[in-house]
A and B are shown apart, each in its own frame.
Chain A
């Protein structure tokens, strides 16, 4: 009897077709020759519909943290990254922002018929590298294929699980008047890198996306100060710093006062926003965090951030104040004061 023979996937010329999502042999082949090979780890190797996982031993016990994030970015490849590593970093960061150690990831792919297998391979390998570098394995997943025109190449949804020690309470509702607001580095890099590739807007820039997994930075910050002095951690992704700070102000029922001159920003980012009529505070970041810290711990946290490769340009940008209207205000570099508001809709360029 002849051995089963399956022609290997053509990662040079091949494309995703409806068979890859039909539940037959073609789908299995895509999983085995691409996903399982790239993400390889013991849990995935079990080959079941789900993964059976071990939890770490944290003295004093732990609670589980779970976060999920869908990635629909365009373009799929951009300076400094791609949708693959972004899908890993985004969810690792969401888990880390609760003070948890990220442990496992699950990933779902929605592929559009006709999507080149070469691009898919590039994305999956980038995800595998990001997951390996972060030390957070992708232990289960799913693939679906939609007809041409019903997707935008590839959508990736990732879910992460992490563990946080019992008693640790880091969240958006914990900011108190007098607390200090820190950011881990320059703002707007990711959004401007993406904008520079948009159709009809292409401009040449040296700016690359800041996409990065922030859990080791968070661990360094936590280790530097007593439990309880880190009140809030959040990554200012869509909507930028402005949106994140307004969320914190609303959740905590406080106001914030920022110092514009202290907010770190690359001159190229500032210039691109100036040219396009966009507010850099509303532009997305993928490798930065905002921390609200007890005043007495601010110095130590800031020092720990600056000692970490992802926090070299960390800065103290403002303070929390009592304000029943929950305004985020900013002392402008010019010497005036203004509200830093939620972003309304998409950031659209002004006309004049």
Chain B
């Protein structure tokens, strides 16, 4: 594949990894958090951890949109489809997120709920046009990457005066989540999560630009390197982080210059702020209530807001008692620290949300990396 294979060049990656190893300061350990699920996925899928020297540890962050979706929000969606007769449209991975009463959207579908998997927000709008006699609700999830398309379809629905379309907005914001982690007791006081720097999101940064990360670098003295999702991007970014740590620098650097600019996609930002405004609080799975961390639909577009249209109440639901998703999403624990990991909680029967999407820390480790937990005796062919 042109323009892709170039960023998957193993020989080049080994060269960079060797340089990283040579540049490490003796006796020093380096812990970096990759915020994005896209990076978690790349690290697991390409076996990047194996290339890195043991002194460099990657901590998986909460940037997986499916993983941070709390049970209460899925419950709302299931309620709309099962009890209010709405057609519920959503993105693929969301279908399997566990909800209350051993349900998920997929299981609700088997019980008769009309749930449709869509590939884009536009498809949800098309469903509304094609089914004028039914209520169509789009369960909109994701970080800044998926927010502009949702804003666009809401604007389009207003233009067409569609009477049966609404959006259950679960859009969340990257910078507030990073702040929340940096403000958490584990990072600030106890130092149980030693974060030396961040790999900044790829696609999110295309939309918001690199400027919003300046705050973390300055206020918290943490280096941030924005990186693309290809494996070579990730290895290169880790090298850049090591160099910043060694030099005592805390700056925002951009490895992903082929797509990310300081100001980001201004047109996308404009349409988002036309349609959405900040929520005062929003529950994240694992992180709990995070202030000003999500978006709700502005009053001018209230008729397209499913929460208002159906007068939905939000009821928070705690995770399974032994599920460690919360601690894993905050970087406090690793997937293998969870008692449920690989026993009752597997990608086929996820208990916690980190096991659902292949971007989740647990599913990525289970599906791609679990052989590392066990020494495998290999017989030469």
**Residues of A participating in the B interface, judged by any CB pair closer than 8 Å:** 177-178, 180, 200-201, 255, 257, 267, 270-271, 274, 276, 295, 319-325, 327, 329, 332-339, 341-342, 344-345, 348-352
Contacts and interface: CB of A to CB of B under 8 A. Distances in A.
Interface in B1-50: 1, 4, 8-11, 13-14, 36-38, 41, 44-50
Given A295-B381, A323-B377, A352-B36, 4 more contacts: A200-B120, A321-B381, A335-B10, A336-B46
A351 B49 contact: no
A240 B49 CA distance: 26
Nearest to B116: A200
A336 B359 contact: no
A339 B368 contact: yes
A348 B117 contact: yes
Contacts of A341: 347, 366-368
A242 to B, nearest CB: 10
B44 to A, nearest CB: 7
A351 B47 CA distance: 21
A200 B126 contact: yes
A342 B368 CA distance: 10
B293 interface: no
Contact of A338 (B66, B106, B142, B368): B368
Given A334-B47, A341-B367, A350 B119 contact: no
22 contacts: A178-B381, A200-B120, A200-B123, A255-B376, A257-B378, A295-B381, A322-B377, A332-B47, A334-B13, A334-B231, A336-B46, A336-B49, A339-B368, A339-B370, A341-B347, A344-B348, A345-B96, A349-B119, A351-B146, A352-B65, A352-B146, A352-B203
Given A341-B367, A345-B348, A333 B8 contact: yes
Given A200-B123, A270-B1, A295-B381, A351 B91 contact: yes
The 7 closest A-B pairs by CB, nearest first: A336-B47, A348-B92, A335-B10, A344-B347, A319-B381, A334-B46, A338-B368
B13 A335 contact: yes
A350 B142 CA distance: 11
Contacts of B381: 178, 180, 295, 319-321
A263 to B, nearest CB: 14
B91 A336 contact: no
B260 interface: no
Contacts of A295: 381
B190 interface: no
Contacts of B11: 335
B157 to A, nearest CB: 17
Contact of B378 (A267, A274, A321, A352): A321
B247 interface: no
Nearest to A335: B10
B145 interface: yes
A62 to B, nearest CB: 34
A351 B357 contact: yes
Given A334-B13, A337-B50, A348 B371 contact: no
B245 interface: no
- Max chain A CB contacts within 10 Å: which of B38, B46, B51? B46
Question: Chain A binding site: helix, strand, loop or mixed by DSSP?
Answer: loop
Interface string B64-89: 11100000000000000000000000
A227 to B, nearest CB: 22
A329 B378 CA distance: 11
Interface string B219-235: 00000000000010000
Nearest to A318: B381
B369 interface: yes
Interface string B178-199: 0000000000000000000000
B167 interface: no
Contacts of B10: 332-335
Given A295-B381, A335-B14, A351 B92 contact: yes
Nearest to B126: A200
A348 B93 contact: yes
Given A349-B91, A351-B141, A337 B47 contact: yes
A178 B231 CA distance: 31
Contacts of B145: 352
A201 B119 contact: yes
B353 interface: no
A321 B266 CA distance: 54
B370 A335 contact: no
Given A270-B1, A348-B96, A351-B93, A334 B8 contact: yes
B1 A271 contact: yes
B231 A327 contact: no
A197 to B, nearest CB: 14
Nearest to A323: B376
A255 B381 CA distance: 12
Contacts of B357: 350-351
Nearest to A345: B96
Contact of B359 (A257, A323, A352): A352
B353 to A, nearest CB: 13
A352 B377 CA distance: 37
A339 B365 CA distance: 9
B300 interface: no
B379 A350 contact: no
A336 B11 CA distance: 11
B311 interface: no
A255 to B, nearest CB: 7
Contacts of A274: 1, 4
Nearest to B349: A344
B141 A336 contact: no
A325 B377 CA distance: 10
Interface in B43-63: 44-51
A274 to B, nearest CB: 6
Interface string B105-149: 010000000000111100100100000000000000111011000
Nearest to B38: A352
B210 interface: no
A321 to B, nearest CB: 5
Contacts of B14: 335
